[in-house]
Amino acid sequence: MDDTAPVDCPICSKPVKPQHINPHLDSGCESFIVDATENAPKRVLSFFTPGPKRVASVSSKTTAPPTAPTPSPFTQPPPQTQHVDRSISPTGTKRSLDATNGDPPSPKRTKLSALQKAAPLPERMRPRSLDDVVGQEELVGPNGVIRSMIASGNIPSMILWGGPGTGKTTIARLIAKASNYRFVEIVSTSSGVGEVKKLFAEALGELNLTGRRTIIFCDEIHRFSKTQQDVFLGPIEAGQVTLIGATTENPSFKVVAALMSRCRPFHLERLTESEIRDILERALASESAVKEHISPLIDDEFLSHLALRADGDARQALTLLSLSLSLSTSPQTTSDSLRASLTKASLYDRSGDQHYDSISALHKSIRGSDPDATLYYLSRMLQSGEDPLYISRRLIVVASEDVGLADPSMLSLAVSAHQAVERVGMPEAGINIAHCAVALALANKSTRVYRGLHAAMAALKEPGVANLPVPVHLRNAPTRLMKEMGVGKGYKYNPDFKDGRVKQEYLPEQLRGRTFLDERDLGVKADPDLARDEGEIFDGESAGTHSPWKKKLPAAA
């Protein structure tokens, strides 16, 4: 190569003689520049010649406009811009997106396009903007909280909590698309601490180089262990990253308190039947545009049926619609057979909110003396696979907590029902559980023991009460020495006295005269809403004896 032929500077792309390249760089790309007007030898290409993306990185010290670079044989021309509406991660792992236009990196555009064509209907129908989101008006509606955050340009770390198909992932992606944040998506089940720390370093580098902040979207964040969740604390607090976590579980129980204090929780409500219906109609219109024929079985009534079956889950509704479109192509398919093929088991997580909400509803239905609601929640739990022994154990608690002294035999019935479940097994044991649950619901209620126990436990928290000395006459005296010391002296053995009645103190001296068990079986509050119920009135005076309910007597003739 001719030593006198200039080459392009790798920094500023200006022509410089090879022997002057180092002094040129040392001068901040300001000296030793070959004047293009001189009769200099023709420049040659070298490995210093930058590619198209390096042209923009001109030193801030350069004052003269850069000369257009000559294409290098070692660089590839930039690919043609191909617009892609959104980015979908094919494996659920992290995918970095350009938040300004939603386009993935150029080398993956071809694969992404193929993936979009093969994507299921729920993925193809994801909203392209916040205006397309159905439901969640308080969050992403025209006056929604999240819209206000995007408009302010400051996206805080947040936890999106909601059931399946309520739009958690969609909203997170649209937040990044509507803002100028870099977006990285990870899944807790396939990402470790090492990978997350690497993302933090990349986010810090991006922030220092371009000033653009990074959103890390973590799906199913409740599956991260406490140690894994703690990794986010420092970067979030320092503003290095913005975390958007999605969870179907109550974050109060599943997300560590330190992380919750740094994130703002948002609860996504289940979609209503009408909202699901709107989504289905939009999807059917989209499919009609690309399919030659849509079966007449997929009519308005059928869409309403799907919306009801979806149970607030948009993804489930679209999956059922996609399956229905496939099944309806067969000539033998009828409306009844199509609906029968879409039978969906109820969703029930034995370790999640459904588990606790259902047992709470069962307990409170029994407490409220509503046998119909009792049977509904009991059947719902049994059909969903709840452990029958767990239910029977809770019924034993109900027998003492809510029925108590009003009908002490209910405790024996509940214990017997638990033994019956152990000996008989399901499904027959469901009858035994229902027998006990309905009996508890119909029984008179008394919380005297329950309230008395809590009153005594509360007294123990008072200063000096928990360790009061036991009165001497109530103490045990198993040895002669203790008897000689007067331990147990003065105790009156009740069975020796008429009717077992004696004058004797049992409480420590400091607590004498204090009562924990009152005379009332139930409370004395009157519910004003009962006045609006027809056919029944509330007799407040009967509270404390038996059931406070009585039928309203007809007017005298």
Closest CA to 150 of 174, 115, 119, 182: 174
Q: Is 4 helix (H, G, I), strand (E, B) or coil?
A: coil
By the 8 A CB rule, do 5 and 37 touch? Answer: no
What lies within 8 Å, CB to CB, of 198 at 6+ separation is: none
> From CA 113, how far away is CA 224, in angstroms rounded?
32
Q: CA-CA distance, 20 to 14, in Å (whole number)?
A: 12
Number of neighbouring beta carbons within 10 Å of residue 313: 21
Structure-token pair, residue 313: 């889950």
Burial of 432 (0-12, 13-18, 19+ CB in 10 A): buried
C-alpha distance across the termini of the chain, in Å: 122
Query: What is the full DSSP assignment across 181-202?
Result: -EEEEEETTT--HHHHHHHHHH
Cα dihedral 460, 464, 465, 471, rounded to 10, equals 150
Closest listed residue to residue 161, CA positions, set 260, 81, 79 = 260
Residues near 173 by Cβ (< 8 Å), separated by ≥ 6? 86, 87, 97, 102, 126, 183, 185, 217
3-state secondary structure 426-452: CCCHHHHHHHHHHHHHHCCCCCHHHHH
Strand 182-187 relative to strand 214-219: parallel, antiparallel, unpaired?
parallel
Distance CA 325, CA 298 (A): 8
CA atoms within 13 A on the CB side of 207: 16
What pLDDT, on a 0 to 100 scale, did the predictor assign at position 547? Answer: 45
d(CA 152, CA 321): 39
Which residues, given as ranges, of the chain have pLDDT below 70?
1-4, 36-117, 343-353, 532-557
List of E strands, 485-525: none
- Residue 503 has what pLDDT? 84
Alpha carbons 113 and 87: distance in angstroms, whole number: 10
Cα gap 98→215, rounded to integer Å: 11
Residue 298 burial (C-beta neighbours within 10 Å; 0-12, 13-18, 19+): buried
Residue 307 to residue 314: CA distance in whole angstroms: 9
